[in-house]
Amino acid sequence: MQTIILIRHGYQRSWDQNLKVRGSPAHVRIDPGLAEIGVRQAQVTADHLKALGGVQCVMSSPFRRCLETADVVGAACGCPVTADWRVGEVLLSAALGSPFSVQNSMDPDWAERREKAGKPSHPESDATIKERVMKILLELNAKKPFAQRIAIVSHEIILKEIFNHMTGKSVALDWHPCAISVLTKEKPMDRLWRLSGVLGSFKHLGVDDRVEPVAQIAHSYHPLDSRS
């Protein structure tokens, strides 16, 4: 049986702090690390996955909050962590409501971790998001030998796309920080994956660690964008 475990990154610092102050570095707002509770969530999640049998490798979005989460999982399971832009955050253009220059908006201290992550697509739309998600899934399916247990640490929108393509279902779910979904495939030739357990489960987190952001950023989309 092959298993892919989808994990949302832990609670990030920018959800608790007013980081949109004029003059503050772009990476402080765009590429924040984990808050203290996010670090705890990552550790509890890593211990939970280790108890379930661990993972053989971790694929992570190159954003710092994801890499910090993935590093904790990798350390607990004794496996490597690879940054990959194909599971990175959605990059919208200025026309779509979220101006974002990748080159100068990422934390420079983490640049080395992103060197082999590939190049991001920018700007993006529904079509480009689906395209890069499909590419990574096709690559995972074609990989020989296929690692039996893989963890993917990413962002809510990307995790939803991955889940929908893997299962053939369209499911809308608000993923709690460090929530996990376990997908399995009995045979390599099977086309669709099956959900094992609860979608976006966070039962492994203690009551004190179940904290979600109070307010999410609302994007306003261009009228020509396919999301309108």
CB-count exposure of residue 56 (10 Å: 0-12, 13-18, 19+)? middle
- pLDDT for the residue numbered 19: 57
Amino acid at residue number 114: R
> Does 45 map to a domain?
yes
- pLDDT for the residue numbered 68: 98
Q: Taking the mean position of all CA atoms in its chain, how far away is CA 13?
A: 16
Model confidence at 220: pLDDT above 50: no
- pLDDT for the residue numbered 162: 94
- Antiparallel, parallel or unpaired: β 57-60 and 149-154: parallel
Instruction: Show the DSSP H helices in 53-100 as ranges.
Output: 64-77
> Does 69 map to a domain?
yes
Alpha-carbon distance of 135 to 94, in angstroms, equals 26
Domain limits for position 44: 2-209
Digit-coded pLDDT (tens) for 7-38 = 999 999 887 765 555 567 777 778 889 999 99
- pLDDT for the residue numbered 214: 58
> Does 180 map to a domain?
yes
Model confidence at 123: pLDDT above 80: no
Q: Which of 120, 134, 107, 95 is nearest to 222 (CA)?
A: 95
Q: Taking the mean position of all CA atoms in its chain, how far away is CA 30?
A: 15
Domain containing residue 58: CATH number: 3.40.50.1240
> Does 220 map to a domain?
no
What is the tally of structural domains in the chain? 1
Alpha-carbon distance of 177 to 172, in angstroms, equals 16
Which strand ranges, in their side-by-side order, compose the sheet holding 149-154?
Answer: 81-83, 57-60, 149-154, 2-8, 180-185, 194-201
Tokens read off for 57: 């490798």
> Does 61 map to a domain?
yes
- pLDDT for the residue numbered 20: 56
Give the 3-state secondary structure of residue 220. coil
Segments of 45-91 assigned E as strands: 57-60, 81-83
> Does 226 map to a domain?
no
> Does 217 map to a domain?
no
Model confidence at 56: pLDDT above 70: yes
Digit-coded pLDDT (tens) for 62-107 = 999 999 999 999 999 999 999 999 999 887 654 444 445 565 678 8
Q: Taking the mean position of all CA atoms in its chain, how far away is CA 150?
A: 13
Instruction: Show the DSSP H helices in 6-125 as ranges.
Output: 26-30, 36-51, 64-77, 102-105
Q: Which of 132, 156, 125 is nearest to 228 (CA)?
A: 125
Alpha-carbon distance of 223 to 72, in angstroms, equals 41
Question: Angle at the Cα of 3 (from 86 to 159), degrees rounded to 5?
Answer: 35
Calculate the average pLDDT of the chain. 83
> Does 222 map to a domain?
no
The label of the residue with tokens 């991955």 reads 162
As a whole-number percent, the residues of the chain with pLDDT over 70 amount to: 82
Question: Is there a contact between 2 and 182 (Cβ–Cβ < 8 Å)?
Answer: no
Q: Could you tell me the pTM of the whole model? A: 0.87
Q: Range with the lowest mean pLDDT among 7-11, 13-17, 147-151, 189-193?
A: 13-17
- 130 versus 21: the higher-pLDDT residue is 130
